[in-house]
């Protein structure tokens, strides 16, 4: 009994250990794992139940020794663990409460298997882990400093592509003295990439980027840092009739080329962007040949090919004063004058430090610019409009101070500036233009490529979004980050080795793969085993406690039986009923030789277990029982003498 109880507890602990080992693991081989758990639950149930069965048997003998019950009640007592109907005997419930309680436990024991089966479930769960990911790329614009378009680097099957195209003053095979390359414009490859990014309204994701970076079945995120261009925007006016402030630059102050009076409600425009003031002229000389080679002999003009300034983006726009109110449809509406708030801001192209978080989830890419630090203007000059340069070139831009011009002979700096300028020129291409309401907001006249971007809201007849200033900065960042979608751009490098261009080949093609791993956070949602230990131990705790009480009851019964452990086997019952003590009852119902049930009048007779035969007397207090022609067995009321243990003194009780 004790061993079986401990065995049941051991299997319960083993069940907990097994389920705990599965907790949080991928839910593979679910049927097999649940079968193992059910096997352990059944073993725990079997151990505890078997211990209680033995305890029940001891209580049976203690009960029949102490009490007289009808034969029907005795039938129910002995069959209680096997026949559920036996428990409905009222006499049994009143005379053998402990034994009945143990029988009830035996019948309810299978609930342990049923209830513990639900403590190991399969649930979707997200696993998050810090790891190292391959294939993460970053941007390094320093590669533009040394890019040689006459002899480009080749990585794998593709040549590295610049962001800019170039003209020259002399053929490459001529005298190397006195000639130089100068900027033409953005490269067609980059124009394509920037356009796709503008149309999509987000940074473009590289094909198969998630699988290459995160691994099959995983999502991941990582943070890269790089230096590139960025728009530093400043609000200059907000409100009807407000005079715009001048834009203060590091090199001077410049007044906006327009004011808010051209913006709703006083003006016709809901959006007005001027982005080309001081633009670099792609025609630097009037008379040039193929490749931009001047037809005039050197010396060439001092400012030929120089970046004199970087155009400021000037944007005026209208926002609704109260987005919850209906928008007036025309100027005659009394609410027109107060319905719109005109604003004006300016953006300068700055060299900028970025910290950007990339996230790949379920095949989609999201980017979050975590930190932006503006370092210095790309070209630190202030544009002076309406003043002719008259410097021998076809570029009529004038800016101050002239000492801050960036010249082609400062090769590395010039090429980096050209890359930044190529980025801004394409962004400004989309920003430039107007949306005119012409006193009627129902049918706007759109004359800007901004309609193809995320800057104008089609739900409000292409009014700009209220946070347009922030969106312009984000729009520029999306174009920059879209470069990463085309790894054969020269500025794309490995995040783990930023001084090495990546090309389109997988990480580790030209070295140890581990050298290209970069810190990342990987996650995935999958079906996992979820172990509810609390629920399992509630079930086992109740079962073990009840079994322990049952074992204790069995132990007391053994003590009452003078330390003898009894059972209800056939031989034990025969031994307890043999002899003439029960012969005076008509068990056969009056002479039948074959019968299936005991007659009802016999079942109503009261019987018990004790001494049958002559009267027994104790030889001494606590001594051996001395009998003459008596034996232990079952007898009918009046024929059996039962013993009671009270304070270590054996006493007789004659049932009469």
What are the distances in angstroms from CA 222 to CA 45, 412, 473, 542?
A: 51, 30, 22, 49
The pair of three-digit structure tokens given for residue 335, joined into one six-digit string: 């609410």
Percent over 70 (pLDDT), the chain: 80
- At residue 654 the predicted structure's pLDDT band, cuts being 50, 70 and 90, is very low
Average pLDDT over residues 533-560: 86
pLDDT at position 168, please? 92
Sign of CA dihedral 303, 305, 306, 312: positive
- At residue 352 the predicted structure's pLDDT band, cuts being 50, 70 and 90, is very high
CA–CA separation, 110 and 604 (whole Å): 34
What are the distances in angstroms from CA 314 to CA 198, 273, 447, 504?
A: 19, 6, 16, 38
pLDDT of 6 over the 80 cut: yes
Average pLDDT over residues 430-447: 88
pLDDT at position 620, please? 36
pLDDT at position 655, please? 41
pLDDT at position 126, please? 86
- At residue 73 the predicted structure's pLDDT band, cuts being 50, 70 and 90, is low
Cβ neighbours, 10 Å, residue 191: 16
The gap between the terminal CA atoms of the chain, to the nearest Å, is 36
CA–CA separation, 109 and 12 (whole Å): 13
pLDDT of 631 over the 80 cut: no
Q: What does 287-349 look like in DSSP terms, one character per residue? A: SB-GGG-BSSPSSPPTTTT-B---PPEEEEEEEES-TTSPPP-BTTSTTHHHHEEEEEEEEEE
Cβ neighbours, 10 Å, residue 629: 8
Average pLDDT over residues 258-275: 96
User: 376 forms bridges with which residues in the sheet?
Assistant: 351
pLDDT of 577 over the 60 cut: yes
Of 414 and 54, more confident? 414
pLDDT of 216 over the 50 cut: yes
Of 573 and 286, more confident? 286
pLDDT of 436 over the 90 cut: yes
Of 25-34, 485-494, 502-511, least confident by mean pLDDT is: 502-511
Of 67-81, 343-357, 365-379, 515-529, least confident by mean pLDDT is: 67-81
Average pLDDT over residues 517-523: 96
Cβ-contact 420, 349 below 8 angstroms: yes
- At residue 186 the predicted structure's pLDDT band, cuts being 50, 70 and 90, is very high
Average pLDDT over residues 210-219: 91
- At residue 516 the predicted structure's pLDDT band, cuts being 50, 70 and 90, is very high
CA–CA separation, 115 and 123 (whole Å): 18
CA–CA separation, 116 and 54 (whole Å): 24
pLDDT at position 615, please? 44
What are the distances in angstroms from CA 338 to CA 241, 258, 267, 496?
A: 12, 21, 13, 55
pLDDT at position 100, please? 76
Of 107 and 293, more confident? 293
Strands (E) across 404-545 are located at: 433-436, 445-448, 456-457, 463-464, 492-494, 518-531
Residue 501 gets which letter from DSSP?
B
The pair of three-digit structure tokens given for residue 47, joined into one six-digit string: 């151990």
pLDDT of 172 over the 80 cut: no
- At residue 144 the predicted structure's pLDDT band, cuts being 50, 70 and 90, is very high
Of 582 and 529, more confident? 529
pLDDT at position 585, please? 62
The 10s digit of each residue's pLDDT in 470-495 is 999 999 999 999 999 999 999 999 99
pLDDT of 625 over the 60 cut: no
Cβ-contact 187, 203 below 8 angstroms: no
Cβ-contact 9, 51 below 8 angstroms: no
Average pLDDT over residues 278-291: 92
Average pLDDT over residues 25-49: 88
pLDDT of 177 over the 90 cut: no
Average pLDDT over residues 199-223: 93
**What's the mean per-residue pLDDT of the chain?**
85
Average pLDDT over residues 104-132: 87
pLDDT of 327 over the 80 cut: yes
pLDDT at position 401, please? 96
Cβ-contact 161, 501 below 8 angstroms: no
pLDDT at position 572, please? 66
Q: Which pTM does this prediction carry?
A: 0.74
């Amino acid at each position: 009994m004790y061993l079986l109880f401990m065995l049941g507890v051991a299997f319960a602990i083993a069940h907990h250990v097994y389920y705990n080992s599965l907790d949080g693991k991928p839910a593979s081989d679910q049927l097999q794992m649940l079968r193992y758990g059910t096997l352990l639950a059944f073993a725990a149930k079997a151990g505890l139940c078997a211990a209680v069965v033995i305890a029940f048997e001891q209580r049976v003998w203690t009960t029949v020794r102490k009490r007289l019950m009808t034969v029907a009640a005795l039938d129910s007592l002995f069959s209680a663990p096997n026949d559920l109907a036996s428990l409905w005997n009222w006499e049994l419930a009143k005379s053998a409460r402990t034994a009945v309680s143990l029988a009830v436990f035996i019948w309810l024991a299978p609930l342990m298997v049923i209830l513990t089966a639900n403590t190991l479930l399969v649930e979707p769960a997200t696993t998050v882990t810090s790891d190292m990911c391959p294939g993460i790329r970053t941007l390094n614009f320093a590669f533009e400093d040394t890019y040689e378009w006459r002899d480009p680097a080749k990585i794998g099957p593709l040549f590295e592509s610049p962001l800019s195209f170039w003209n020259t003053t002399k053929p490459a095979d001529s005298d190397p003295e006195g000639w130089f390359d100068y900027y033409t414009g953005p490269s067609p490859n980059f124009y394509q990439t920037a356009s796709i990014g503008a149309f999509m309204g987000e940074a473009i994701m590289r094909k198969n980027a998630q699988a290459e970076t995160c691994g099959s079945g995983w999502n991941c995120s990582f943070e890269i840092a790089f230096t590139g261009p960025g728009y530093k925007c400043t609000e200059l006016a907000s409100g009807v009739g407000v005079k715009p402030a001048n834009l203060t630059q590091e090199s001077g102050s410049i007044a906006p080329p327009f004011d808010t009076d051209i913006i709703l409600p006083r003006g016709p425009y809901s959006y007005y962007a001027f982005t080309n003031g001081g633009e670099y002229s792609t025609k630097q000389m009037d008379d040039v040949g193929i490749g931009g080679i001047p037809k005039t002999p050197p010396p060439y003009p001092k400012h030929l090919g120089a970046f004199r300034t970087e155009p400021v983006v000037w944007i005026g726009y209208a926002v609704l004063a109260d987005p919850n109110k209906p928008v007036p449809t025309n100027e005659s509406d009394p609410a027109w004058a107060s319905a719109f708030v005109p604003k004006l801001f300016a953006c300068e192209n700055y060299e900028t430090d970025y910290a950007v978080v990339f996230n790949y989830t379920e095949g989609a890419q999201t980017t979050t610019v975590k930190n932006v630090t503006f370092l210095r203007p790309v070209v630190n000059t202030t544009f002076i409009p309406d003043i002719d340069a008259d410097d021998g070139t076809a570029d009529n831009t004038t800016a101050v101070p002239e000492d801050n011009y960036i010249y082609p002979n400062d090769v590395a700096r010039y090429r980096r500036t050209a890359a930044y300028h190529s980025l801004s020129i394409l962004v400004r291409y989309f920003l430039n233009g107007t949306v005119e309401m012409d006193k009627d907001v129902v049918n706007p006249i759109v004359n800007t490529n901004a309609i193809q971007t995320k800057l104008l809201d089609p739900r409000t007849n292409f009014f700009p979004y209220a946070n347009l200033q922030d969106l312009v900065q984000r729009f520029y960042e999306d174009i920059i980050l879209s470069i990463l979608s085309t790894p054969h751009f020269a500025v794309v490098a490995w995040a783990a080795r930023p001084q090495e261009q990546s090309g389109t080949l997988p990480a580790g093609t030209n070295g140890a793969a581990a050298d290209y791993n970069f810190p990342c956070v990987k996650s995935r949602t999958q079906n996992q085993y979820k172990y509810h230990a609390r629920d399992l131990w509630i079930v086992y705790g109740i079962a073990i406690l009840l079994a322990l009480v049952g074992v204790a009851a069995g132990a007391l019964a053994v003590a009452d039986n003078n330390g003898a452990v009894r059972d209800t086997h056939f031989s034990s019952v025969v031994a307890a009923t043999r002899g003439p003590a029960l012969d005076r009852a008509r068990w056969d119902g009056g002479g039948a030789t074959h019968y299936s049930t005991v007659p009802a009048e016999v079942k109503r007779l009261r019987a018990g277990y004790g001494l049958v035969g002559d009267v027994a007397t104790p030889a001494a207090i606590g001594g051996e029982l001395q009998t003459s022609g008596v034996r232990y067995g079952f007898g009918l009321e009046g024929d059996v003498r039962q013993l009671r243990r009270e304070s270590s003194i054996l006493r007789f009780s004659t049932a009469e």
